[in-house]
Amino acid sequence: MGRKWKKFEDFLYRETVLFFLIIAVIIFASLVRIYCIQAFYIPSASMIPTLRPWDRVIANKFVYNFRQKPQRGDIIVFRAPANPLEEMLYTKRVIGQGGDEIKIRGGTVYINGEGLEESYAKGIPEDYGPVSVPDGTLFVLGDYRDYSNDSRDWGPVPVDEVIGRVFYIYFPYKRMGRVK
């Protein structure tokens, strides 16, 4: 009976170690997803040509949780400001920050009176503004200006609603790489 008991103890020890290892991996993966990075997909054409519909991207959550605030030019993922009950997420480019004055004239975006160079932008948006961006908020636009639902429609985005900065396309494989 001693030999069978020893085999059972060895089996129980291995299963216990494996159980705790699996729990540790689950906790680690959850912490990474909550605080560091998260995968998203792009559901619309509002960010063409930078991001295309159904692109799969990775957003860095760590950078905004612990280090810096969103900067002009960053592509961010954020919760829908138009309807707080809706769990919809948007992906847009930061154009203005708190204190900026934004206007669009003749297809050019002006920030505090200076024209913004935007090699990534597509389309010619209608004239808009001027509007002042309140402190603690961001003015965001899609890169495909004619097709985008953005701050021109529902106003500035509270910085607290920003989830992370998109930095990498991982699918489709032909487009895999860093996002600029």
- CA distances 179 to 47, 59, 75, 123, 146, Å, are 12, 10, 8, 20, 21
CA 85 to chain centre: 19
Name the catalytic one among 6, 69, 92, 119: 92
Q: Of the residues 46, 61, 148, 151, which is catalytic?
A: 46
Q: Catalytic annotation on 92?
A: yes
Of the candidates 69, 63, 30, the residue with the CA atom closest to the CA atom of residue 166 = 63
Maximum C-alpha span of the chain = 89
CA distance linking residue 102 with residue 156, whole number of Å: 11
Any catalytic annotation for residue 151?
Answer: no
Catalytic residues: 46, 92
